[in-house]
Amino acid sequence: MEAKDLESYRIQGFTLLESLYTRQEVNILNAETHRLMGESSIGRVLEENGTTLRSINGPHLNSELFQNLACDARLLSQAEMLLGGPVYVHQYKINTKQAFHGQNWEWHSDYWFWKKEDGMPEPKALTAVIFLDEVNEFNGPMLLVPGTQYDELIDEIHDRPYGELDGGDNWAITTAQNLKYRLSETYLRKKNRK
């Protein structure tokens, strides 16, 4: 990682490291992903239609390759450099979302859920992404909004106690059923001007 990458992470909240893994390594990860997609496992998340696979949570539990990836020195050293110390894996998943199929994920702050649901005390976390396919305007998997890592959580629903989301006092509701994460067009324009 170069100084410009660290600066990008500090200012924008993200950096892109190209070629951390070779094309051959990515092809192997892709093949293993397709193998896991064909298996029945507890970590499978389906689209609303009940048949289309959306995500695989905990792939390291069913794949030695993904278990080894979670411990790979190339990935861990970059995360440690960005966060300034030792790291651990808090959440591990493969998003299998296909272009033009299934629901999208609205923009959101992962930390809000890690704090509320998992008790993470501070937002000293990052998301490492390895793109297994070409990323273009038709299948772009993520919307990264520069500088939002310094903003307070703006989504009004984040400020509500869990019980208010469904009118009851049950805090253990699923984000897929009841939470929506949205950024207003005005907010995005404001961030874009900065």
The tens digit of pLDDT for each residue in 51-98 reads 888 899 999 999 999 999 999 999 999 999 999 999 999 889 998 876
113 part of a folded domain: yes
68 part of a folded domain: yes
48 part of a folded domain: yes
| Mean pLDDT on 156-161 | 47
- What is the value of pTM for the model shown? 0.73
Whole-number average pLDDT of the chain: 78
Residue 10 domain boundaries: 3-140
Q: Which two tokens stand for residue 191?
A: 């961030």
Identify the weakest region by mean pLDDT among 11-20, 77-86, 107-116, 183-192. 183-192
39 part of a folded domain: yes
Indicate the pLDDT class of residue 150, thresholds 50, 70 and 90.
Answer: confident
- The number of domains in the chain is 1
Please name the residue ranges forming H helices in 13-63: 23-37
22 part of a folded domain: yes
Indicate the pLDDT class of residue 100, thresholds 50, 70 and 90.
Answer: low
161 part of a folded domain: no
Is pLDDT of 147 > 60?
yes
The tens digit of pLDDT for each residue in 103-129 reads 776 667 778 778 777 888 888 888 898
What is the signed CA dihedral for 99, 60, 71, 12, rounded to 10 degrees? 30
Query: How would you label 104-129 residue by residue, b for 16+ Cβ within 10 Å and e otherwise?
Result: ebebbbebbbbbeeeebeeeebbebe
53 part of a folded domain: yes
Q: How many Cβ atoms sit within 10 Å of the Cβ of residue 186?
A: 8
124 part of a folded domain: yes
CATH number, domain containing residue 27: 2.60.120.620
pLDDT of residue 146: 82
Q: Which two tokens stand for residue 42?
A: 């507890």
Amino acid letter, 86: P
pLDDT of residue 189: 62
Strands 93-95 and 44-46 turn out to be unpaired
